[in-house]
Amino acid sequence: MTALSKLTLTDFRNHAAFSLNIKSAAVCLFGENGAGKTNILEALSLLGPGRGLRSASLNELVRQGSERGWTVSAVFDDDHQIGIGLDQASRTPKRAIRVDGAAATTNDLAERVRMIWVTPAMDVIFRGGGTERRRFLDRQVMANIPSHGRVSAAYEKSMRERNALLERNYIDPAWADAVENRMAEAGAIIAMNRAMIVRKLQAAVDARPDGYFPKSDLSISGEFEKRAADGASLSDLEEALRDTLAAGRARDRAAGRTLNGPHRSDLDVIHRPSGAAASLASTGQQKALLIGLILANARALSTADEQAPAPLILLDEAAAHLDPSRRAALFDELSSLKGQAWLTGTDATLFDAFRDRAQLVEVPPTGSA
Ligand SMILES: Nc1ncnc2c1ncn2[C@@H]1O[C@H](COP(=O)(O)OP(=O)(O)OP(=O)(O)O)[C@@H](O)[C@H]1O
Ligand SMILES: [Mg+2]
């Protein structure tokens, strides 16, 4: 996907029917609190693989009071269409996906849509535990390597099998070997992907101009990613992970979970101007670091090979946190990228510095449209 030219939501969150023709590479949604701006970004985020920017369940997304399921559909690259919705026909809620009218899969979405986002909920990623940072990293990887999501799901699945196996009184060694083999296969790819994308992101960070968004120094604390960064081959990684898992059976059994592997890795971020860990930076500095990282990834994605789709960049409430000169720098940078940027804010004047490079769209308060 390079750009959306039309977006239509039905019975999605507070939007009974919302339709927008898009004429620009930047779209700025403005309106009062609760109007449904973030909901629109969330709808867009569901055009890619995964559960979207709020990790909501499919049922939560149905407009309260609606008798039907929700739908989100988008026209992209002028004449292609992606439609997603809650599949009412299946007994368990399921996301129905159609591309150009034909049934499609999450993998089809991953191939077509490269998506990255920043939301206020992500402000805490540098302060909290590793889970959120790892998720953040994996989302950046997924935008670059569509198969990463599928491999991660395979890893998680075999890890659950292994954990269940370790709870038994007798562990069949052949069974454990088979499960750990699958974990090692997927885990090695995960570590390799992460190491590769961190290197790519770092190069994109380094290539960015100095100025409004501070640079960061990135590394992954995780044995297997470190080995990958040091040049280990995929089969080396696989073997190392397989050995680690086999050697850790007794310990993992006592702990009741798998203690070692790429599911425990963390993304370490240093705020380069101060040389200190990002966790020590101020709230505003952390926000600017995060935006800098997303812009670096957007740059990496938009300079990727010609065949790769250009990214959709979703920035929820990013403008409001920035002073006017940083805001202008952000808009300049977004305007220089391939891909389409979607921004939200409560006030149209926040987007003044875009001048004629963006389409301003008012999201009216619920009930008035
Ligand atoms: N399933 C649903 N059905 C109907 N309304 C919903 C549903 N889920 C959320 N909402 C409503 O959507 C509104 C919030 O929308 P959203 O978060 O997009 O607002 P916003 O425009 O981003 O506001 P803010 O400026 O405060 O961020 C709330 O009023 C909420 O009650
Ligand atoms: Mg919002």
Q: Is the pLDDT of residue 211 over 90?
A: no
d(CA 213, CA 330): 9
Longest dimension (CA), the chain: 69
Which ligand is closest in space to the CA of residue 34? 1
Instruction: Give tens-digit pLDDT for 304-363.
Output: 777 788 899 999 999 998 999 999 999 999 999 999 999 999 999 999 999 999 999 999
Report whether residue 173 contacts ligand 1, using a CB cutoff of 6 Å. Answer: no
Contact 258, 197 (CB under 8 A): no
The edge-to-edge listing of strands for the beta sheet with 15-21 is: 15-21, 4-12, 71-76, 80-87, 94-99, 102-103
Question: Which residue's CA is the nearest one to ligand 1's atom 17?
Answer: 38
| Cα–Cα distance, 105 to 298 (Å, whole number) | 25
What's the gap in Å between 34 CA and the centre of ligand 1?
A: 5
Bridge partners of residue 349, in order along the sequence: none
Chain-centre distance for alpha carbon 339: 16
- The CA distance from 114 to 71, in Å, is 20
The CATH number of 123-305 is 1.20.1050.90
CA of residue 345 to ligand 2 center, whole Å = 8
Q: What angle do CA 28, 18, 146 make, to 5 degrees?
A: 70
Ligand 1 site, residue 63, Cβ cutoff 6 A:
yes
Ligand 2 center to 39 CA (angstroms): 7
Shortest-distance Cα residue to atom 16 of ligand 1:
36
Amino acid in position 285? Q
- Confidence label for 367 from pLDDT (cuts 50, 70 and 90): low
Question: What are the pLDDT digits (tens) for 104-141?
Answer: 999 999 989 999 999 999 988 999 899 999 999 999 99
Q: Is 57 in the pocket of ligand 1 (CB under 6 A)?
A: no
pLDDT of 255 higher than 90: yes
Q: Does any ligand 1 atom lie closer than 6 A to the CB of residue 119?
A: no
Q: In the chain, which ranges are continuous DSSP H helix?
A: 37-45, 106-112, 130-144, 148-166, 173-207, 223-229, 234-247, 249-255, 283-302, 324-336
Task: Tell me the C-alpha distance between 192 and 260, whole Å.
Answer: 16
Which ligand 1 atom sits closest to the C-alpha of 366? 29
